[in-house]
Amino acid sequence: MSKKNTKNNEENPENWKENLKIPKKDTRQRTVDVTETEGHDFEDYYLQVPLLKGIFEMGYEKPSPVQEKTIPVALAGKDILARAKNGTGKTASYLIPILEKIDKKKKHIQAIVLVPIRELAMQTSQICKKLSKHMGINVIITTGGTRLNEDIMRLEETVHVVIATPGRILDLIKKNVADVSKTSVIVLDEADKLLSQNFQSTISQLIGHLPQNRQIMLFSATFPITVKYFIQKHLKKPHEINLMTELTLSGLTQFYAFVEERQKVHCLNTLFSKLQINQSIIFCNSVKRVNLLAKKITELGYSCYYIHSKMSQEDRNKVFHAFRNGATRNLVCSDLFTRGIDVPGVNVVINFDLPKTSETYLHRIGRSGRFGHLGLAINLVTYTDRFNLYKIEKELDTEIQPIPQTISTKLYAD
Ligand code: AMP
């Protein structure tokens, strides 16, 4: 913990850290989406001490990447559009700034957090209550499936933060039980679900009850078209945060070889002899073809494993790990394997069969941009594939060139 930037007042003596009840440290290994931070401390955000106490007593030592990106912007009052996965500290990334801004002397509802399902509401409200434990504010949860009367009673008290599913809170607003006319911030967590057909009209009505100058934060794994309409209509120059690694074709050079079906194996053999393959993945469009091709490649004298959906999970794991560890140079597979393609040693991907859709193409050869290695993608294209190739190029806005006589190793081999 660092020393700086805490508001000291009579409520917050200098030695507040000494009496913290910090839970036992979680020593499990963490993935990069949680550890790859810029090195901030929670104290860098000038948070009030009672909130900092809550944060540290949750066992949070330093902000996670999504928290580093979100907290300062949210504190500045900006609308936010964030793509982040569950399990990366997303919830606290919006709860911390919300809580910091609560004025406990004011009696009205100051923040609403909307989530699509009751279980998530429970979980979120538990985190909110723990974080705000030392703040002396009132957080309530209101969802369908519970007694309306109890919610009505609880709303007779001062409530600062409401965690809710959409239907129930709208009901309470319409009944004049919940007054949100001065609510300054609303979060839509799992916005893609919240803005699907089922909820859309409820959310629009709800937003209509809030003041004009409210702050809106959207958290979503994906932003489908329904979310885009909502953004255009309701958000003001939202600040975008994206922590999902997307597949990209950058760094990849893509070629096609125009062949007849019966020439494919011969063509592959030529590629093996000419290219400097560190490791390659070769895709076929069916399990049967995977088996056949793996056999052919072995007969040609090259080392090769194969993997497909008809194998047992145990065998699949074995093959995958062996390939990852470089135990074999080539792997033949069906589309089962496309999402795990970030094997660092792979510098050549070959579509022995061109995939049917551009999405599959992207998943087969695209990489999650971060690592930025160079690579080569080669497509064996038959007469019947020709329109498909054109369609893939168009849809992915990319260029797949005819294969030249020689391919410079600079394009794919470091
Ligand atoms: P979430 O993405 O909100 O579902 O959070 C995933 C898990 O990470 C929850 O158990 C949180 O309590 C925990 N968590 C959130 N922020 C931090 C942090 N800064 N340090 C350690 N754990 C955290």
User: Counting atoms of ligand 1 from 1, which one is nearest the CA of 61?
Assistant: 20
Which residue has the CA at smallest separation from atom 18 of ligand 1? Answer: 60
Query: Residue 370: what pLDDT?
Result: 40
Using the predicted structure, report yes or no on whether residue 163 has a pLDDT greater than 50: yes
Ligand 1 geometric centre to CA of 64 (Å): 8
Domain ranges of the chain: 3-242, 252-411
Distance CA 229, CA 309 (A): 39
Residue 242 pLDDT exceeds 90: no
Give residues with Cβ within 8 angstroms of 408, minimum separation 6: none
For ligand 1, the distance from its centroid to the CA atom of residue 242, given in whole angstroms, is 18
Q: At 56, is the pLDDT very low, low, confident or very high (cuts 50, 70, 90)?
A: very high
Q: Quick one: CA dihedral 98, 104, 106, 108, positive or negative?
A: positive
Spatial separation of the C-alpha atoms in residues 247 and 361, rounded to whole Å: 11
Per-residue pLDDT at 272: 96
Residue 205: per-residue pLDDT = 96
How many angstroms is it from 192 CA to the middle of ligand 1? Answer: 21
Q: What value does the mean pLDDT take over residues 270-279? A: 95
Each residue of 306-316: pLDDT tens digit?
999 888 878 88
Q: Look-up: residue for tokens 């049917």?
A: 356
Q: Which one, of 130, 184, 127, 126, lies nearest residue 160 by Cα? A: 184
Mean pLDDT of 190-210: 91
3-class DSSP state of 367: strand
CA of 90 to the centre of ligand 1 (A): 7
DSSP character at residue 245: P
Q: Ligand 1 pocket: which of 35, 51, 57, 64 to mutate (most atoms <8 Å of CB)?
A: 64
Give me the DSSP letters along 128-155. HHHHTTTTT--EEEE-TTS-HHHHHHHT
**Against a cut of 0.85, is the pTM above it?**
no
Which residues sit with their C-beta closer than 6 Å to ligand 1? 58, 60, 63-64, 67, 86-92
Average per-residue pLDDT for the chain: 89
How far, in Å, is the centroid of ligand 1 from the Cα of 91?
Answer: 7
Rounded-to-integer distance, Cα 47 and Cα 245, Å = 30
The fold for domain 3-242 equals Rossmann fold (3.40.50)
Q: Give the C-alpha separation, 216 to 234, whole Å.
A: 8
Domain 252-411: CATH class, spelled out: alpha beta
Q: Is the pLDDT of residue 173 over 50?
A: yes
Question: pLDDT (tens digit, 9 = 90+) per residue, 20-34?
Answer: 999 888 776 565 566
Closest residue (by CA) to atom 14 of ligand 1? 89
Nearest CA to ligand 1 atom 13: 89
Centre of ligand 1 to C-alpha 324, Å, is: 30
Q: Is 41 helix (H, G, I), strand (E, B) or coil?
A: coil
Residue reference for tokens 């937003």: 207
Euclidean distance between CA atoms 386 and 373, whole angstroms: 29
Longest dimension (CA), the chain: 84
* Nearest CA among 253, 247, 246, 245 for reference residue 374: 253
